[in-house]
Structure 1
Amino acid sequence: MRLVVLGLSLGSSWGNGHATTFRALLKAFAARGHDILFLEREVPWYAGDHRDLIDPEYCELAYYRDLADLGRWRGRVAQADAVIVGSYVPDGVAVGRWVQAEACGVTAFYDIDTPVTLAKLARGDFEYLSPAIIPGYDLYLSFTGGPTLDRLEREFKAPAARALYCSVDTAAYRPLDVPTRWDLSYLGTYSDDRQPTLTRLLIDVARAEPQRRFAVAGPQYPAGIDWPDNVERIEHLPPAGHAAFYSASRFTLNVTRADMIAAGWSPSVRLFEAAACGTPIISDRWDGLDAILADDAEIILADTGDDVRTALTRDAAAIGAAARRRVLAAHGADTRAAELEAYLADRITACAA
């Protein structure tokens, strides 16, 4: 299969979760014998030192300056068996219209931010997707499963909405034999709606447990945050350092954005990555999480700081090991690539009929 993907970023993991998602998925998809071209908009905040993947071995990575420059790839788009446009692509509505006009094969939208996308559409914010172009995609691949899939087809007239959760490269994310540095860690870019939960479940716990060690890794946190002395801040942690980070943590925290909690069925890539490393996860709760990892057997759910403090007293190695087994069986990139292949093949057949 010849596949073209226009995504937010493959070359830079700085400040976004899209790059690691695309890297794991496309590496596994290429391993199934497919040819891939990834087209990325060249922007200054993902360039220079922020670009941590230059020449991937599993696909061709190319950059375009603007919509006019995208025309250089018209032939490849027309010849592709499938073309996927991702969420948060700059000028995504115009890019989507262009793809739908130029592609001769199946067209798909891969929404790695589905609840955020739907909230934007409800506000009339068509930053990268509009209701008008959704029916023009043959396939809507959604980061969110559950009832949202029916809503996409019923309300927005998506011809076929299918769950394509994030996944993990299980060769890159695995338990490492490194010294334990932190009792509880968190890896994620700053977000206004996640910060109150991070404060309640980690920062306040750190203040109450000065003898324990904590870490928060990720960019864009405001300068005014009052970090306790026992919380180590790591401004940016490239994917190559993730497995060591999780492996050095007795527990790690999963915090979910408000739109994702409201929609449910929206596991983040960090959830799978931490589980693949065998690190016990403490998480906020949302509908559908129990279908991904079982409460108190594969993950620990916490509503309050006291819940976290209790969890930190546990020997939860068995929970981390069980989560790793579950993710290896159901949420590895090879599994997700097989799902993507099946979805695309199904739509290719349907559209040819």
Structure 2
Amino acid sequence: MTRLDLVVLGLSLSSSWGNGHATTFRALLKAFAARGHRVLFLERDQPWYAAHRDLPDPDFCELVLYDDLAGLDAHRDRIAGADAVMVGSYVPEGIAAGAYVQEHAEGVTAFYDIDTPVTLANLAKGKCDYLTADLIRGYDLNLSFTGGPVLDQLMTRYGSPAARALYCSVDESAYAPTGIAPRYDLGYLGTYSPDRQPTLERLLIEPARRAPHLSFIVGGPQYPADIDWPANVTRVDHVPPDAHPDFYNACRFTLNVTRADMIRAGYSPSVRLFEAAACGTPIVSDRWAGLDTLFIPGREITLADEPEDVLELLTGTSETARASQAKAARERVLKAHTAGQRAAEFEGFLGEAIKARATASRSSDFSDSRPPARALAS
């Protein structure tokens, strides 16, 4: 494919504090740029990210901060002239931003939903503040962190012209085994979320209470001060991306905990799955539909329901079996879930959308196949 000019309006690229969007965008766009494409990332300047910027000047794309919706006007020509413009979920004033993009972009428009099940649940309640049904229909391409039946729902119920799964990925050059000896039996890396906390309680905190001779670690910000952490659980606040490999490699096993909406939808892998596997750290996870399409349970990943399952894994798994699972999971990720592979998929989806627009344009009496009038902020 010829070089593409891509503009992205995303939640954050500059700061990974308290969000998984930055890690996802960094891996994807770095690999996309390496394929010869040009990227401009527009990020709404927010004080909580300004205080925790760990990538203020990326070398793989142009990063520009803007203060408010009116600030997009300074980049109107780039938006209009780009081959593709992509808006991400949770962008502040995302409905108005999406309408702005669909009004002014002359190339392909896309929406990248890193929170699809949450988005759809909020749309059903009329409480989504960054996406509407009209916007879904107006985007040429709807990319989703979630695959499976959700894609059909986006097209049949909401009228998306094209809904495609674009899972998260891992930069294998940054995430790899380090050879250090593990110091913790089980670790969990993730920002606090109320709907994840019961699973964390069941699959890490309760096992820690029952096995004081084992060691545990939980990394991530925003955990309430009133959580009763057992003495053998080490707490670390925000862990920046460049410290993730050391975190994973310090653990004999790592825990994957999935948000409730993602469990209900299925087919919603967290980036932590791919990161941990790339680092050669075996994973124990909660259950959800579609997980077996990514990793083979019992060989590449262990599934757990109760504290007893976790304790049996930690105390009854030989080092040979542990290493075998880690090796198999790493091989799976390097084969199917690297940033380079995801960038190639992304490029292919954009190419399909560009061709579809060209075909529609040739068969239409209008220069733009999308509806000329949009009441998209409703």
Which residue matches 2:228?
226
Which residue matches 1:39?
42
Structure 1 residue 126 displacement after superposition: 2.3
Matched, 1:26 2:29: yes
Please give the alpha-carbon distance, in whole angstroms, between the structure 2 residues aligned to 1:270 and 1:126.
26
Please give the alpha-carbon distance, in whole angstroms, between the structure 2 residues aligned to 1:272 and 1:122.
30
Structure 1 residue 177 displacement after superposition: 1.9
Q: Which one-letter code corresponds to 2:179 in the other structure? A: D
Matched, 1:9 2:30: no
* 3-state SS of paired residue (1:303): coil
Please give the alpha-carbon distance, in whole angstroms, between the structure 2 residues aligned to 1:159 and 1:290.
28
Matches within 5 A, 1:10-89: 10-48=13-51, 50-89=52-91
Please give the alpha-carbon distance, in whole angstroms, between the structure 2 residues aligned to 1:350 and 1:86.
22
Let me know the Cα RMSD of the aligned residues.
0.6
* 3-state SS of paired residue (2:340): helix
Matched, 1:345 2:351: yes
Q: Normalising by the residue count of structure 2, what TM-score does the alignment of the two structures yield?
A: 0.93
Please give the alpha-carbon distance, in whole angstroms, between the structure 1 residues aligned to 2:221 and 2:323.
29
Please give the alpha-carbon distance, in whole angstroms, between the structure 1 residues aligned to 2:90 and 2:313.
36
Q: Which one-letter code corresponds to 2:95 in the other structure? A: V
Q: Which one-letter code corresponds to 2:340 in the other structure? A: D
Which residue matches 2:201?
199
Matches within 5 A, 1:181-196: 181-196=183-198
Q: Which one-letter code corresponds to 2:13 in the other structure? A: L
Matches within 5 A, 1:314-325: 314-315=317-318, 316-325=322-331
Matches within 5 A, 1:256-335: 256-313=258-315, 314-315=317-318, 316-335=322-341
* 3-state SS of paired residue (1:191): coil
Which residue matches 2:148?
146
Please give the alpha-carbon distance, in whole angstroms, between the structure 2 residues aligned to 1:135 and 1:258.
27
Please give the alpha-carbon distance, in whole angstroms, between the structure 2 residues aligned to 1:12 and 1:144.
23
* 3-state SS of paired residue (2:275): helix
Please give the alpha-carbon distance, in whole angstroms, between the structure 2 residues aligned to 1:55 and 1:68.
23
Structure 1 residue 70 displacement after superposition: 1.1
* 3-state SS of paired residue (2:130): coil
Q: Which one-letter code corresponds to 1:343 in the other structure? A: F
Runs of at least 4 residues off by over 4 Å: none
Q: 2:175 is matched with which residue: 173, 179, 195?
A: 173
Please give the alpha-carbon distance, in whole angstroms, between the structure 2 residues aligned to 1:177 and 1:11.
30
Q: 1:243 is matched with which residue: 232, 242, 245?
A: 245
Structure 1 residue 178 displacement after superposition: 1.8
CA displacement, residues 163-189 of structure 1 (integer Å, 9 cap, x when unaligned): 000000010010112231100000000
Structure 1 residue 196 displacement after superposition: 0.3
* 3-state SS of paired residue (2:274): helix
CA displacement, residues 259-287 of structure 1 (integer Å, 9 cap, x when unaligned): 00000000011111011101000000000
Please give the alpha-carbon distance, in whole angstroms, between the structure 2 residues aligned to 1:130 and 1:100.
13
Please give the alpha-carbon distance, in whole angstroms, between the structure 2 residues aligned to 1:149 and 1:69.
33
Q: Which one-letter code corresponds to 1:268 in the other structure? A: S
* 3-state SS of paired residue (2:7): strand
Identity of aligned residues (%): 66
Structure 1 residue 258 displacement after superposition: 0.3
Structure 1 residue 127 displacement after superposition: 1.2
Moved more, 80-89 or 169-178: 169-178
CA displacement, residues 71-116 of structure 1 (integer Å, 9 cap, x when unaligned): 1000000110000000000000000000000100000000000000
Q: Which one-letter code corresponds to 2:349 in the other structure? A: Y
CA displacement, residues 304-345 of structure 1 (integer Å, 9 cap, x when unaligned): 000000111213111011000000000000000000000001
Q: Normalising by the residue count of structure 1, what TM-score does the alignment of the two structures yield?
A: 0.99
Please give the alpha-carbon distance, in whole angstroms, between the structure 2 residues aligned to 1:121 and 1:181.
44
Please give the alpha-carbon distance, in whole angstroms, between the structure 1 residues aligned to 2:143 and 2:180.
37
* 3-state SS of paired residue (1:132): helix
Q: 1:123 is matched with which residue: 99, 122, 125?
A: 125
Please give the alpha-carbon distance, in whole angstroms, between the structure 2 residues aligned to 1:78 and 1:329.
37
Please give the alpha-carbon distance, in whole angstroms, between the structure 1 residues aligned to 2:130 and 2:196.
22
Q: What is the number of equivalent residue pairs in this alignment?
A: 352
* 3-state SS of paired residue (1:133): helix
Q: Which one-letter code corresponds to 2:22 in the other structure? A: A
Which residue matches 1:215?
217
Please give the alpha-carbon distance, in whole angstroms, between the structure 2 residues aligned to 1:159 and 1:97.
17
CA displacement, residues 209-244 of structure 1 (integer Å, 9 cap, x when unaligned): 100000000000000000000000001100000001
